[in-house]
Structure 1
């Protein structure tokens, strides 16, 4: 019996530990439809900048840790305190110095230059040989007086990286309004995935705001506590802690979801339902609250849907699924504009909308949105693996090839091939072994690259697939040369959609590899039908300038011939019109085609057949 697990520690930028912990899971046959609402690299869009949202509200408390634990305006005794079972918070100007993250990046906070607070679990932990120790460490503020201030918002900037499973670690803010006798906890891990270096380096800081009015509003003995508990791996950095007056009216669109793919083949598009999380961050009820999703193509609206307006109580969050689904019927680039509105004048319109994009093409299934950010997956010491994404086929068709993006630490001469699996992890199709060349590897970038280099490998022949789930994967074969598959997406992904095989065991990963499945642009059964239609091999094959394709009809029919490259992109079409029964031939010029493998498909209305040809230049 095959085993599946969760991969909880991936190699980011080609470095780091692998598979430190794991838990049992089933295969992807029974994938739940409910998304886990993890976001990939779109973390900063779920928070909002301190200056733009709180600038004209009264500041009730501020701490930038310029004096470390002593606190602002405190010169004799520490204002902040730390408590820990073995690893404490410390003032720092440096990032993590630990064994897994190495010399890590610092939090990209507003006042990072004058220092911040760091919990460096990596540096505290003795490591695998001595056994890892879980952490329970808190950073606690001085007592804060909010008398006569009934509406208050806590905002802070932070950066962190975590490991393993969401159940094994907690990042929390605890608030007390009675001097520490009772506490209310808030999860601040939000939608950040395992092993993402969030809010650090050149990335926007994670800016978290919590309306604490119900606990701390009007109280004279308010205390803030930052607490990490569980698996100690990696780090957490805190800076620029502020309490301001809460706004009266402030709706926030926290997250949106419309489907898990960034690119669909036209024949495989399913109904798209639109969902959003709406948060009333203000201290007044909001009336006629409306979430709207509008789909645009070529800058023009092609669809819109919205909920029935309703009243959302103060400090409440609703997840809304809009009443009407959308199914694209044309190829092209689409943009979805999500927006939330109400009758009241909103304090900050910057957090009331989000945009998402997807493409409908002839052939390409993709989850990654073609966004390359230096992140990648590789095993330690160049160890081999097989990595892939799941795609759900809606209509029977043919998978022709698999495409993937190589991160900058991949090496020339590495051996790879692509494989197609069914829902039981049984191999259905495979390609020839391919040696990576320098031109296949993407360089290191300082900002998102929207058109990375892509490698496409075809199967020996197109593989016929029926409706169901399939895993499109890349296999790294040679342990002497490293292969690092780029990862990342801004599309919300359900859990158990990406998998890796290590030593014959399957794991699911929490990051999204840039691996795409390419399908034949036409749908149907690829076989010669009973009416006597036959498609013959082109001659000459390989061809350089011109080739001839012969076919035979058992009955008269309207005939078309289409040619696709190995990624499934349509490159040539010939309309033969009405043809009588008998033998026929089509002369095709290949002079303007790039060298490589192509597929040609004959369609006669009630029959369809495909063959492979090779072009040399």
Structure 2
């Protein structure tokens, strides 16, 4: 079957209050890769001596069991995936995950298919374990190596467990993919994990899938399992962090440049203690920065964090790329588990962005409530740290593929408690035909002052179910959010909305000198029954205006016709309006100005 790469209604969400992932709807896959750097040039050396190996070509080597209400492991190939209907299409697990890339996938592999139950998800606890024990009596610690494909969705877990008594009890459990972001595939396709076996002659391993509640998941594929003695030298990276004293940004306005920090957590999975373990950072575009962490000694079986000694501060506008590597005195036997992504970003004049979108019209993913049951309105948001006082003039964002022509879209700035800030709402934007995938600016009537040392959430909202914001890249937990109006709750998402700060001073010049139309704020405001707006025309032109409510409903629509140059005024009759917020859109020729009005009776 042809692969389907169109992003559907992914909503990567988790409970903001309880830090628990709650996914609203799955999506079919897109592929996105990033170059990884290894200091050891991926030279394969001794990975330990194989004690036992299996490629799932003999089903009797494994026992399948579980304690959940739904789903079980299968040994097979893509031909054994169960078909089902998703959003009107006939699909299988293959439509949602990478094709199995394991070395011996052609002769069969073990897989758990969770997505087939998407319409009626129950508790899933299922495992596949070795049928016969392996003798590890000469080893206190062994390395389990296997190949995998996995795509994260929600709170599902992918565990590997070891038993030292033939499967009666399971002494050690490792979550293999805990940091894979929702709706993304693991990049760790060859896995090495160490287990304490305490010289047991009755060792078994098992792979366990667990998804509790109604969230479900995509699936997990496992193949080419190998139990190994410890490698001589094996430093593995457990986590890698970089960014401007907290968050990392892909676009940074020059006035918000701050020192960039870098760190890793490393673990010694080899048999030997290692000397002079360091994290190295090298900026390769400008070529003016190289630094390393202080060297440490890492004892076998322990882990530690290392931080690059000198931060990097970009010198000005331009593109930057920091390559990272881990080094120590020995040559690593398993270089695949200490490869580090580069940090690529640019410093520009006005745009502050966390997303990785590189094409203004490409929708890599999207956040929408249109596919929920029932559909609901959503408000996505990103956190931004402010390092210097500035005036925010606009909020730039990219539509997804779900739009409603004629709907009103607003930007709003919130504080770090996700509460609105004063004067933090932009003028509305009216959705036009062809806006799907388009990047637009939502403009403040008056620039919003943002203060150094503060963190703000920048959001985009539309009071329509058929609305979407594009996503690109991954966000650390609790740094990107989505608000669901159906339950009035903020959740966090690990997908990064394409929502940016725009500091361009030309965006929000009230009564732009280049415009033919200058409009005052209405007075009084708030008002009960009537309010007056003054405007000035440099040249005679046709004038019209509308008043709309927050849903986009037109309350008043008036055509003034040809109006002479000079000062004029209009009176808005709001006697029939309910209390609330309204927007006056006044158009003179090619110029349109929007003013916010409040009715309070």
For the structure 1 residues 513 and 147, does the alpha-carbon distance in structure 2 shift closer, same or farther, using more than 3 Å as the test? same
Q: Is the 8 A contact 1:280 1:316 kept in 2?
A: yes
Correspondent of 2:159 among 137, 158, 172: 172
SS for the counterpart of 1:267 is helix
For the structure 1 residues 417 and 134, does the alpha-carbon distance in structure 2 shift closer, same or farther, using more than 3 Å as the test? same
For the structure 1 residues 487 and 115, does the alpha-carbon distance in structure 2 shift closer, same or farther, using more than 3 Å as the test? farther
Q: Distance in 1 between matches of 2:179 and 2:64?
A: 28
Q: Structure 2 regions of 5+ residues with no counterpart? A: 1-5, 20-30, 519-588, 592-601
The question of 1:313 aligning with 2:299 is answered yes
Q: Distance in 1 between matches of 2:225 and 2:126?
A: 18
Q: Is the 8 A contact 1:63 1:240 kept in 2?
A: yes
Correspondent of 1:459 among 444, 452, 468: 444
Instruction: Single out whichever of 359-368 and 453-462 deviates more from structure 2.
Output: 453-462
Q: Distance in 2 between matches of 1:226 and 1:349?
A: 24
Q: Structure 1 regions of 5+ residues with no counterpart? A: 1-11, 27-39, 72-78, 443-452, 528-534, 544-613
For the structure 1 residues 358 and 44, does the alpha-carbon distance in structure 2 shift closer, same or farther, using more than 3 Å as the test? closer
Q: Is the 8 A contact 1:151 1:283 kept in 2?
A: no
Which residue does the alignment assign to 1:237?
A: 221
Count of residue pairs brought into register by the alignment: 471
Report the CA distance between 1:367 and its aligned residue: 1.0
Q: Distance in 2 between matches of 1:539 and 1:18?
A: 43
Q: Distance in 2 between matches of 1:209 and 1:346?
A: 13
The question of 1:116 aligning with 2:109 is answered yes
SS for the counterpart of 1:274 is strand
Correspondent of 1:415 among 407, 411, 418: 407
Which residue does the alignment assign to 2:177?
A: 189
SS for the counterpart of 2:197 is helix
Correspondent of 1:390 among 383, 386, 403: 383
Q: Distance in 2 between matches of 1:97 and 1:47?
A: 40
| CA distances 1:241-277 after superposition (whole Å, capped 9, x unpaired) | 2233432112233432122222211211233222112
Q: Is the 8 A contact 1:295 1:334 kept in 2?
A: yes
| CA distances 1:589-609 after superposition (whole Å, capped 9, x unpaired) | xxxxxxxxxxxxxxxxxxxxx
Which residue does the alignment assign to 1:425?
A: 419
The question of 1:359 aligning with 2:346 is answered yes
SS for the counterpart of 1:288 is strand
Which residue does the alignment assign to 1:85?
A: 68
Which residue does the alignment assign to 1:228?
A: 209
The question of 1:475 aligning with 2:461 is answered yes
SS for the counterpart of 2:261 is coil
Q: Distance in 1 between matches of 2:35 and 2:478?
A: 21
Q: Is the 8 A contact 1:416 1:433 kept in 2?
A: yes
Q: Distance in 2 between matches of 1:419 and 1:457?
A: 6
SS for the counterpart of 1:70 is helix
Which residue does the alignment assign to 2:563?
A: none
| CA distances 1:509-561 after superposition (whole Å, capped 9, x unpaired) | 23211211111479xxx99xxxxxxx995256489xxxxxxxxxxxxxxxxxx
Which residue does the alignment assign to 1:399?
A: 392
| CA distances 1:96-117 after superposition (whole Å, capped 9, x unpaired) | 6578896332552323333332
Q: Is the 8 A contact 1:173 1:185 kept in 2?
A: yes
| CA distances 1:351-395 after superposition (whole Å, capped 9, x unpaired) | 354411122211111111225673221113464322121212222
The question of 1:65 aligning with 2:56 is answered yes
Q: Is the 8 A contact 2:294 2:306 kept in 1?
A: no
Correspondent of 2:144 among 154, 160, 178: 154
Q: Distance in 1 between matches of 2:303 and 2:86?
A: 37
Which residue does the alignment assign to 1:580?
A: none
| TM-score, normalised via structure 2 length | 0.68
Correspondent of 1:215 among 197, 203, 210: 197
| CA distances 1:111-144 after superposition (whole Å, capped 9, x unpaired) | 33333323234546882xxxx6423322111312
| CA distances 1:26-80 after superposition (whole Å, capped 9, x unpaired) | 9xxxxxxxxxxxxx967996999xx97578754433333234x323xxxxxxx43
Q: Is the 8 A contact 1:376 1:486 kept in 2?
A: yes
| CA distances 1:139-191 after superposition (whole Å, capped 9, x unpaired) | 111312345566632122233445545xxx53211112342345211111231
SS for the counterpart of 2:255 is helix
For the structure 1 residues 435 and 155, does the alpha-carbon distance in structure 2 shift closer, same or farther, using more than 3 Å as the test? same
Correspondent of 1:376 among 357, 363, 366: 366
Report the CA distance between 1:81 and its aligned residue: 3.5
CA RMSD in angstroms comes to 3.9
Q: Is the 8 A contact 1:17 1:380 kept in 2?
A: no
Report the CA distance between 1:286 and its aligned residue: 0.5
